Every structure is written in C-alpha cells, then in structure tokens.
Amino acid sequence: MKQTLTDEKFGNCLQTCVAYLLKKDLHHVPNFMLFEHHWWSSLVMYLGIHKYIPDFVNDEAPPADNNEYIVSLKFKRHSKGVSHAVVMKNGSVIFDPYPIINYSYDEAVIGGYYKIEKCN
C-alpha cells in the first residue's frame, strides 16, 4: 500500500498509515487532512465508528513496548517543514507510505507517537 496524494497540504500519508494498521483498503479510509484544522476530530470519529481509539503517547522517545504507532515526523532539511506520517515499532520504521529519497529518519523531528487501540 502506498500514499497516492503527495500534496504538501492534503497528502494522504496519515490515511495510508491508518489503512495499514486497520488492514483496510485505502479507499475505505478518508483522507483526514482534507478536514484541515479538524483532521484530529475526523480521525477520532472515523476510528470510533470502527471501535478504535487514538491515544497520543508522547513526543519524545519511542515507547518501550512492542506496539505499532503512527508517528508524525518533520525533516529538518525540508524547506517547508512538512509533516509526514509513518508506522513505527520498537523505535524502527516498519511502514512508510511514501519513502522520501535522500532523507534519513535519524534527522527527523518527532511530532508525536499515536497508538491506535481497539475499544472494548
């Protein structure tokens, strides 16, 4: 599965990461960035309908458990400071919907770790 929209404002890397984690086809998951300032509430609503809940864990060190997390990254060398979402596990990227050539994850600034949990 790959990101299909690479627009700096309305790219769908978050949509692709959610589809990956929920094992859904990309076209069954909305592009949350189209909701602009309401992207978080649209993500919470979508996940709630499917019996999941997002949990912001931290914005510093990788969580020390064996779970998968959606991670918000910003690359220092990117002139516009665009955010990008990937899935990490044990501190390593396991899914990048749009690998950026010539960018190292080591030079990325972490914007936050988000765990998607199944509701009871």
Strand-by-strand arrangement of the 68-75 sheet: 52-58, 108-118, 68-75, 83-89, 92-95
Sign of the CA dihedral running 7, 43, 98, 109: positive
- Structure-token match 């309401």, residue found: 38
Q: Are 112 and 59 in contact (CB under 8 A)?
A: yes
Instruction: Kindly state the tokens that stand for 39.
Output: 């992207």
Higher-confidence residue of 41 and 5: namely 41
pLDDT band of 25, cuts 50, 70, 90? very high
Q: Are 95 and 85 in contact (CB under 8 A)?
A: no
The reported pLDDT for the residue numbered 116 is 92
Could you give the 3-state DSSP secondary structure of residue 85? strand
| Span 42-92, pLDDT tens digits | 999 999 999 999 998 887 778 888 889 988 887 766 556 678 899 999 888
The reported pLDDT for the residue numbered 115 is 92
Residue 103 pLDDT more than 80? no
The reported pLDDT for the residue numbered 102 is 59
Residues in the chain: 120
Q: Model-level pTM?
A: 0.87
Domain ranges of the chain: 13-118
Q: What percent of the chain has pLDDT over 70?
A: 91
